[in-house]
Chain A
Amino acid sequence: DAGVIQSPRHEVTEMGQEVTLRCKPISGHDYLFWYRQTMMRGLELLIYFNNNVPIDDSGMPEDRFSAKMPNASFSTLKIQPSEPRDSAVYFCASSLKIDRDGYTFGSGTRLTVV
């Protein structure tokens, strides 16, 4: 398995633009998580899905953020409009709860909003 795949690896965008981050989880995993990592706030859970259904989105910072999981092999995190304070590394992770093996993380997307 290729692991959790995130794209793009790096994204630089101007303030006000729409940004879409993509994630392909490990095949067969039933949970998908989106995290944001910054120096100031560490790792923050934004939202997670079980069997493509959002379970908890209480970590989504504001209405500018939205996430979807249209099928078991794809998820997106969208920021519209983007702001400089959204600059961070965004991680996607997936897991198979029954295995209790923890999460497998993607390599992350480094977002810079200028």
Chain B
Amino acid sequence: AQSVTQPDIHITVSEGASLELRCNYSYGATPYLFWYVQSPGQGLQLLLKYFSGDTLVQGIKGFEAEFKRSQSSFNLRKPSVHWSDAAEYFCAVEADSWGKLQFGAGTQVVVTP
């Protein structure tokens, strides 16, 4: 069965520092991968997605993610975080032919001054 693992439950980063959030997936075929962000009191918002082609994908809010098939990973990065990036981040993989997404447990990002 498809699964998504986010090893880090909680990350604290200083404003202006770089951020990397890890995501590992288990999937038999070429996966469709997504990153979502959830700000407090809000629904999830799509940051970026990967289907095929260039393994480095750009998203909104200055985020990017790199697909590495050999490592079964799809890590999210941002070169310089802003206080407004404090939120919870979810990695997801398309889990079946119906388009159902399997979400990871999420990583809570705290940004310090």
Give residues in A with beta carbon < 8 Å to B: 4, 31, 33, 42-43, 45, 48, 50, 55-56, 91, 93, 95, 97, 100-108
Whether the Cβ atoms of B49 and A42 lie closer than 8 Å is no
Give the Cβ gap from A60 to chain B, nearest Cβ, in Å: 14
Give the Cβ gap from A105 to chain B, nearest Cβ, in Å: 3
Whether the Cβ atoms of A102 and B101 lie closer than 8 Å is yes
Please, which residues of chain B bring their CB within 8 A of the CB of A56? 98, 100
Chain B 61-113 residues near chain A, CB threshold 8 A: 90, 92, 94, 98-101, 103, 105-106
Whether the Cβ atoms of A102 and B46 lie closer than 8 Å is yes
Please, which residues of chain A bring their CB within 8 A of the CB of B30? none
Q: Which of A33, A43, A102, A105 has the most CB of B within 10 A?
A: A102
Q: Does B11 contact A (CB under 8 A)?
A: no
Give the Cβ gap from B88 to chain A, nearest Cβ, in Å: 10
Give residues in B with beta carbon < 8 Å to A: 32, 34, 36, 41-46, 49, 51, 90, 92, 94, 98-101, 103, 105-106
Whether the Cβ atoms of A102 and B103 lie closer than 8 Å is no
Please, which residues of chain A bring their CB within 8 A of the CB of B36? 102, 105
Distance of A32 Cα from B10 Cα, bound (Å): 30
Distance of A48 Cα from B98 Cα, bound (Å): 10
Please, which residues of chain B bring their CB within 8 A of the CB of A55? 98
A102-B36, A102-B46, A107-B43 known; A97+B98 contact, CB < 8 A = yes
The listed residue (B92, B98, B105) touching A50 by CB distance below 8 A is B98
Q: Which of B32, B41, B44 has the most CB of A within 10 A?
A: B44
Distance of A43 Cα from B43 Cα, bound (Å): 11
Distance of A104 Cα from B90 Cα, bound (Å): 14
Query: Chain B residue with minimal CB distance to A9?
Result: B41
Whether the Cβ atoms of B44 and A103 lie closer than 8 Å is yes
Query: Chain B residue with minimal CB distance to A3?
Result: B43
The listed residue (B34, B43, B105) touching A102 by CB distance below 8 A is B34
Whether the Cβ atoms of A100 and B100 lie closer than 8 Å is no
Distance of A45 Cα from B90 Cα, bound (Å): 14
Please, which residues of chain A bring their CB within 8 A of the CB of B44? 91, 93, 103, 105
Give the Cβ gap from A77 to chain B, nearest Cβ, in Å: 15
